[in-house]
Amino acid sequence: MVVLNRIYTRTGDKGTTALGTGERRPKFDLRIASYGTIDETNASIGIARLHTAQEDANLDAMLGRIQNDLFDLGAELATPDTGKKLEWEPLRIVQNQVDRIEQEIDLLNSELEPLRSFVLPGGTPGSACLHLARTISRRAERMMVELAQIPGERVADPALKYVNRLSDFLFVASRYLNKKASGDVLWVPGKNR
């Protein structure tokens, strides 16, 4: 259980922050940046939900589950697996979470026509916000993949799979919302030459 009765601690005033293991790292450390970008993704989904709550309750519930998953993912990244036993069971993304997001992608995608052009970010307010969340999640994924390549750093396969599926989900969800309105906003190659 989390108890926050004081928001500022002053422990980061010199540019470091603590991981869940107690280890301190610079705030620019790639692991810190990775879970910070997951948090940014989560915040952008929160903004999207200001619109999806009115546009589609079923999709909004899916996004609520994803926001909780992203806290799990942030906790996983903040508590690196060093191979040592901890005094508590750290949160980890599990295959069931990957499976669920895949099923939800398939459900939303089953109502869409195949794409024959690239899609421009836009359309309904909810769709535009989901596109922004998609691009942020892609940045988080790139950072996590880079982190996983650093000797001594571990990022578990389910976490990498989940963040990869997340951007797919957000893309399909944005198309789903636009279909309910006026359809995709399509790229027209060379339109303004």
Instruction: Give the closest residue to 25 by CA, choosing from 163, 158, 145, 153.
Output: 153
Residue 95 structure tokens: 């295959």
**In whole angstroms, how far apart are CA 175 and each of 65, 123, 154?**
19, 9, 34
Q: Which is higher by pLDDT, 90 or 169?
A: 169
The rounded mean pLDDT for the chain is 92
pLDDT in tens, 26-65: 778 999 999 999 999 999 999 999 999 998 999 999 999 9
Instruction: Give the closest residue to 140 by CA, choosing from 44, 58, 15, 3.
Output: 44
The conformational region for residue 52 under phi > 0 = left, psi -120 to 50 = alpha, else beta, is alpha
Instruction: Assess whether pLDDT exceeds 80 at residue 142.
Output: yes
User: In the structure, what pLDDT confidence band is assigned to residue 14 with cuts at 50, 70 and 90?
Assistant: confident
Which domains, ranges and CATH numbers included, belong to the chain?
A: 24-80+93-107+118-180 (1.20.1200.10)
Instruction: Judge whether 158 and 100 are in contact, CB under 8 Å.
Output: no
> What is residue 15's three-state secondary structure?
coil
Q: What is the mean pLDDT of residues 150-165?
A: 97
Q: Which is higher by pLDDT, 88 or 59?
A: 59
Q: Which is higher by pLDDT, 148 or 88?
A: 148
Instruction: Assess whether pLDDT exceeds 70 at residue 12.
Output: no
